[in-house]
Amino acid sequence: MKRILWLTIIALAIGTTGAGAGYNPFRPRPAARGTAPQPRYEHRTYCVGWGDLATRTLSSPTRPLVWIIDGAGDLRGCSNALGACNALLGEPFEMNVFIWSHGYRRLLLDQIGTTHAKNQGMRLAREILERKLAEPGRRVVVVAHSAGCAVALAACDQLPIDAIDRLVLLAPSVSSGYDIRPTLWSAKEGVDVFCSKKDWVALGFVVRVVGTTDNFWSGTAAGRFGFKPKKSNSLADAEQARLRQHFWCEELAWSGHTGGHHGMHEPAFVQTYLMPLLAGK
């Protein structure tokens, strides 16, 4: 009963953050009326500015391909941060944002939607393999944030050995006991997990009330305490070598990341600590 009460309170709290008193996070946004003419320009929500479709090459096999999976609610915090930095650097990476959410600001549905995350993960795995088949030898990196990490993990659990080059998990809201072994084998360069014990709101209070994305009964998130494989899921030496867990410390505060759930989206942190991983450095 306590969990049901807290779920109701959180749902109401999410609802009050919308525009206007009548905002409902579980109601889809209204469809646009009529059919708009197709513009010559596209607006890229994941980076700054407008791109001319007549002159810009959308896909280049020489650039690393980065799949980005945002967190709950389709707020695009992760993809916007990476895309903006990519644009400032001259777009050395092709950023491909994978949309998996139930809808804009449907935070609670995404956070507790275990089955939905797994299904979306299988869809992501198919899309990754299709691109690899069309562009063999291209560097492929997957970056996910918060609840989006459940989707990335579900995808990588299905991929063949060394199917991608690297997986980067930012504040994953999956349980610390998640069996990460299949994912470790799918990433040739291993998995980088960014955690923070100061993330006590999203991955502390909220997780204790609604559970992690993969386990309703789990009260400990890997994005706060790291992955802690239990006896049956213990890692072999080769698997342990592929798992790198980076915990927040005071030395990182200069970058603007002060330990919170979205601190990893700060421009200086993205450029200094994330971009080199995408490039394989």
Q: How far apart are CA 78 and CA 71, in angstroms?
A: 8
Looking at the domain assignment, is residue 257 inside a domain?
Answer: yes
Question: What's the pLDDT score for residue 56?
Answer: 41
Question: What CATH number does residue 158 fall under?
Answer: 3.40.50.1820
Tokens, residue 157: 């659990």
Q: What is the pLDDT of residues 60-99, one digit of tens each?
A: 678 999 999 999 999 999 999 999 999 999 999 999 999 9
Residue 174 falls inside a structural domain: yes
Confidence at residue 190, expressed as pLDDT on a 0 to 100 scale: 97
Nearest alpha-carbon partner for 106 in 45, 140, 147: 147
Q: Does the residue 261 lie in any domain?
A: yes
33, part of any domain: no
Return the SS3 of 181.
helix
Q: How many domains does the chain have?
A: 1
207/19 Cα distance (integer angstroms) = 25
Structural domain contains residue 37: no
pTM across the whole model = 0.80
Give me the mean pLDDT over the 42-69 stretch: 57
**Segments forming the whole domain that contains residue 89:** 65-279
Instruction: Determine, yes or no, domain membership for 3.
Output: no
DSSP 92: -
Sequence-ordered list of residues with C-beta below 8 angstroms from that of 6, at least 6 positions apart, any chain: 209, 210
Residue pLDDT, tens place only, 174-229: 999 999 999 999 999 999 999 999 999 999 999 999 999 999 888 899 999 999 98
Could you tell me which of 118, 107, 120 has the C-alpha nearest to residue 146?
A: 107
- Assess if residue 5 is contained within a domain: no
Contact, 48 vs 87, CB < 8 A? yes
Residue 28 lies in a domain: no
